[in-house]
């Protein structure tokens, strides 16, 4: 069965827009954990626009022995000010999963996967260091990426399919080609022994169609849509609604 990891970055965005501690990232994490999610996802960035290192450490304590912690980030981004770098965060927090993403400060959100023909040599030793911390390593990849064999050869355990184009096509009423491309990529990853996660702009509206069209997805990471929906329905009920979709997709 596909499991749900809830991305709590948006709670931190709201908190940071005002200063102080409200809304509380920790309270949000407790709520979604109590509702039954299998993991918490965070994406600390060097500019500290949302999740901060102190949030990562607090969430590591909260989740330990209860649900998985998934830390996303750019492994090439250097330490800056209070941001110690992704590897240092992982060494201290010891998450169950690290998702490597090729983003930069200028991006509002992650919007493309790795070019492994360019980056695989630099990623290989970093992946080994993350795995030495006890973390499963997932690489953020575009649907249709032609270099998945490199992901396997440099030691990645999983890929995370970037589902933004699928979600955009679904909203426009023509998701067929993008869904087929996601399915082909997932099938190719499985054939290489890679697990498959998925994330970006998945929502209650499109999740069931995605899972029906892309078998074998192990985890979906959902934050932006889930938090937006929760503004109306509440965090606990929104998480339960996602879990009902995942259960029905088995």
Indicate which CATH number applies to the domain containing 95: 3.20.20.70
The one catalytic residue among 68, 72, 219, 229: 72
Catalytic residue list contains 43? yes
What is the residue-averaged pLDDT of the chain?
96
Overall average pLDDT of the 137-146 stretch: 96
Task: Provide the pLDDT for residue 103.
Answer: 82
Q: Check pLDDT > 80 for residue 166.
A: yes
Confidence of residue 105 (pLDDT cuts 50, 70, 90): low
Residue 77's contacts (CB-CB under 8 Å, 6 or more residues apart) are 45, 46, 83, 85, 86, 104
Provide the 8-state DSSP code for 55: H
Task: Provide the pLDDT for residue 250.
Answer: 78
Q: 126-144 burial by CB neighbour count: b if 16+ within 10 A, else e?
A: bbeebeebebbbbbbbbbe
Cβ 12 vs Cβ 51: under 8 Å: yes
Catalytic residue list contains 237? no
Task: Provide the pLDDT for residue 113.
Answer: 85
* CA dihedral sign of residues 169, 171, 173, 176: positive
Task: Provide the pLDDT for residue 128.
Answer: 98
Residue 154's contacts (CB-CB under 8 Å, 6 or more residues apart) are 116, 120, 123, 124, 127
Q: Check pLDDT > 80 for residue 197.
A: yes
The one catalytic residue among 160, 200, 219, 229: 200
Q: Identify the domain containing residue 125 by its residue range.
A: 3-248
Give the SS3 label for residue 199: strand
Catalytic residue list contains 61? no
Confidence of residue 109 (pLDDT cuts 50, 70, 90): low
Q: Check pLDDT > 60 for residue 171.
A: yes
What is the per-residue pLDDT across 110-124, written as a single tens digit (0 to 9) for each? 667 899 999 999 999
Overall average pLDDT of the 153-160 stretch: 98
Confidence of residue 82 (pLDDT cuts 50, 70, 90): very high
Give the SS3 label for residue 42: strand
What is the per-residue pLDDT across 42-80, written as a single tens digit (0 to 9) for each? 999 999 999 999 999 999 999 999 999 999 999 999 999
Torsion of CA 203, 206, 209, 213, to 10 degrees: -80
Overall average pLDDT of the 34-39 stretch: 98
Residue 196 sits at the vertex; the CA angle it makes with 51 and 207, to the nearest 5 degrees, is 75
Name the H helices within 36-175: 53-63, 86-93, 116-132, 148-153, 164-172
Q: Check pLDDT > 60 for residue 108.
A: no
Confidence of residue 146 (pLDDT cuts 50, 70, 90): confident
Number of folded domains in the chain? 1
Peptide bond just before 23 cis, omega within 30 deg: yes
Q: Check pLDDT > 70 for residue 242.
A: yes
């Amino acid at each position: 069965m596909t499991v749900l990891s809830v991305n709590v970055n948006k709670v931190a965005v709201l908190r940071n827009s005002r200063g102080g501690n409200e809304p509380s990232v920790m309270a949000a994490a407790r709520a979604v954990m109590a509702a039954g999610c299998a993991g918490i996802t965070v994406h600390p960035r060097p500019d500290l626009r949302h999740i901060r290192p102190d949030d990562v450490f607090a969430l590591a304590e909260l989740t330990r022995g209860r649900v998985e912690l998934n830390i996303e980030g750019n492994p090439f981004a250097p330490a800056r000010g209070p941001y110690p770098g992704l590897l240092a965060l992982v060494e201290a927090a010891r998450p169950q999963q690290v998702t490597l993403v090729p983003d930069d400060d200028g991006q509002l959100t992650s919007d493309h996967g790795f070019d492994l023909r360019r980056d695989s040599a630099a990623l290989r030793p970093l992946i080994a260091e993350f795995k030495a911390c006890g973390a499963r390593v997932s690489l953020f990849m575009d649907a249709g990426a032609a270099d998945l064999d490199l992901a396997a050869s440099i030691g990645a355990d999983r890929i995370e399919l970037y589902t933004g184009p699928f979600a955009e096509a679904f909203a426009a009423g023509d998701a067929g080609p993008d869904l087929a491309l996601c399915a082909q990529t997932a099938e190719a990853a499985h054939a290489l022994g890679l697990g498959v996660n998925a994330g970006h702009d998945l929502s209650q509206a499109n999740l069931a169609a995605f899972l029906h069209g892309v078998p074998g997805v192990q985890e979906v990471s959902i934050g932006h849509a889930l938090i937006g929906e929760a503004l109306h329905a509440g965090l606990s009920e929104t998480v339960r609604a996602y879990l009902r979709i995942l259960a029905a997709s088995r």
